[in-house]
Amino acid sequence: MTKKITVGNYLIKRLKELGIKDVFGVPGDYNLLFLDQIDDAENLNWIGNCNELNASYAADGYARINGMGALVTTFGVGELSAINGIAGSYAEHVPVIKIVGMPSTTVMNNKKLVHHTLGEGIFNNFSEAFKQVTVGTCILDDLDKASKEIDYILCKCYYEKKPVYIGLPIDISGAEILDNDSPLSLSKFESDKKTLEKFTENLLNKINNAKFPMILTDFEVNRYGLNNELLNFIEKSGLPVASLGLGKGVIDETHSQFIGTYNGTLSNDYIKSIVEKADCFILIGVKLTDSITAGFSFIHNLNDIDIINIHPLFSTLYNKTFSNIYMKDILTKLASNVTSRNFKKENINIEEDVPCDELNSSEILTQKSFFNKINNFIKPNDVLLAEQGTSFFGACTLNLKKNCMFVGQPLWGSIGYTLGALLGTQIADKTRRNILLIGDGSFQLTAQELSTILYNNLNPILFIINNDGYTVERYIHGANRHYNDINMWDYKSLPQVFNGSSKSVSFKVTSAKELDTVLNKINNIKDKLVLVEVVMGKMDAPKLLKNLSEKFSKQNQY
């Protein structure tokens, strides 16, 4: 007997097939029927957000841990509020499914002047905008094509690891279609064998004949879940490896071949000494952006160095692009045939280390002492989120423990992102300890999502760096300008404002000694949200951020 299913429930079935157990968003009258279907679905949770922008950040954070994420908004006002977050997911290759509840097909076909529109009878202007920040859009206005369109767009999101857009008219959500019991076509990538053989032969010739090859790796490895294949190649090659800021944590940072996080010419002396020796760079899943290369400052004259770029879906060698071979197969082939070297990193302290007397001081807390203490506070398996600005560039110098996950947004760099993302990362895996480092200026953009975190009984640790304004902007331009000032909040009291007194503990620290005491206390707190307001000087910043800001200032021609 032919089985029927509503379009909304068919979409839900496919979301669950992709491993999505939680959907973020905000209700609106054009999506309420679909939200009923989500609410009634088994093994699928609705996570309501304070606004759509925060929902998009949460879906992004969720996808970075879970592999895929989804959010639902209403038409027009809701989707445009979320487009900034979707653009960030697009820039940083995060697979997020953006679902928009739309007016009924009758309303749209008759060009009615309804609310949440521009009053022009046009209903595709917002989906057209999303075409710039997604790898595919569809509006489910044809029942005969609905299931095929859903399957196609979801597979595209899965394969390309970037957002997609699905418009779901309110009358279509509850309409019935024929069910498709076949699973989504998520077959593994298969490289062309002849091309793979020729490519890896040339690649191995480059690597094996180089005097000192080294590996730089980044975030694309994380997106495609190829960390084990990367690690196998690294260990078989015996080569030194560094990560970049977009993909910090892509490899176990306690590994004997890992030399640190590469930041172009602003890297510490040890990393620079290794990079300067290299005559062949193997770039695996790397995108060389300004904020993670110190304004595009590579150590060498690249014209004299062999550069090999391996991406998940294509690779380049001799300035030629190969699009029918895949990273997984390349790494496996390389691991089996590479000539093994015997690099072991030296036992050194990170550049940001400071004398013990400063660490134990009862005086004003500094960025240096704070990040040294956080370096010791992090445990294996933690998820560490670092907001753009002092938090991110301070965290770049940390030595992550085994199985730690690092979340930042240095390419898109939308401030306030990490608080929303924290909701997503913690929902995706409630068994892992989540730690957020965020500045006061960034926190004020998305602070209301602390309410959602408390509402869902989550227990992350938040360090709010209170340095009285936009310190990163002060270093780029306008150190004493009024536009870099913000209103001072009583940050430690916010959980109480959000009705979270019984679910949280809060602290305010102004010295290294006070921070020591608090860190010891919160190490034993497992069942409450922890908020720590950390007071620091207005112009105190990590060395990396100060130097990078100077480069940005010149780049912007201030």
92 is catalytic: no
324 is catalytic: no
Exactly one of 424, 469, 533, 547 is catalytic; name it. Answer: 469
Exactly one of 17, 19, 29, 349 is catalytic; name it. Answer: 29
Contact call for residues 365 and 511 (beta carbons, < 8 A):
yes
Amino acid at 403: N
Exactly one of 8, 9, 22, 52 is catalytic; name it. Answer: 52
H or E segment at 222?
helix 220-223
Contact call for residues 549 and 477 (beta carbons, < 8 A):
no
413 is catalytic: yes
Report the DSSP pairing between strands 383-386 and 22-25: unpaired
121 is catalytic: no
Instruction: Please name which of 335, 209, 332, 223 lies closest in space to residue 279, comparing C-alpha atoms.
Output: 209
176 is catalytic: no
249 is catalytic: no
Exactly one of 440, 449, 468, 533 is catalytic; name it. Answer: 440
Burial-class residue 304 by CB neighbours within 10 Å (0-12, 13-18, 19+). exposed
Q: Is the dihedral of CA 538, 543, 547, 549 positive or negative?
A: negative
Instruction: Please name which of 273, 261, 216 lies closest in space to residue 240, comparing C-alpha atoms.
Output: 216
Strand order from edge to edge, sheet including 164-169: 45-48, 22-25, 69-74, 96-102, 164-169, 137-139
Give the residue ranges of DSSP H helices in 21-134. 32-40, 52-66, 77-91, 105-109, 125-130
- DSSP code string of 281-293: EEEES----GGGT
Exactly one of 60, 141, 306, 473 is catalytic; name it. Answer: 473
Exactly one of 78, 413, 424, 439 is catalytic; name it. Answer: 413
Rounded to an integer, what distance in angstroms lies between the CA atom of residue 369 and that of residue 192?
A: 52
Exactly one of 8, 49, 66, 116 is catalytic; name it. Answer: 116
550 is catalytic: no
Exactly one of 9, 434, 467, 547 is catalytic; name it. Answer: 467
DSSP E strands in 191-251: the ranges are 213-217, 241-244
Rounded to an integer, what distance in angstroms lies between the CA atom of residue 495 and that of residue 504?
A: 7
Three-state DSSP string of 398-425: CCCCCCCEEECCCCCCCCCHHHHHHHHH
- Residue recorded with tokens 């202007």: 125
Rounded to an integer, what distance in angstroms lies between the CA atom of residue 311 and that of residue 240?
A: 19
Burial-class residue 543 by CB neighbours within 10 Å (0-12, 13-18, 19+). middle
Ramachandran angles phi, psi of 226, nearest 5°: -105, 25
260 is catalytic: no
441 is catalytic: no
Instruction: Please name which of 370, 64, 415, 419 lies closest in space to residue 246, comparing C-alpha atoms.
Output: 64
Instruction: Please name which of 441, 405, 438, 432 lies closest in space to residue 420, comparing C-alpha atoms.
Output: 438
Exactly one of 36, 115, 190, 205 is catalytic; name it. Answer: 115
Ramachandran angles phi, psi of 438, nearest 5°: -145, 140
Catalytic machinery residues: 29, 52, 115-116, 413, 440, 467, 469, 473
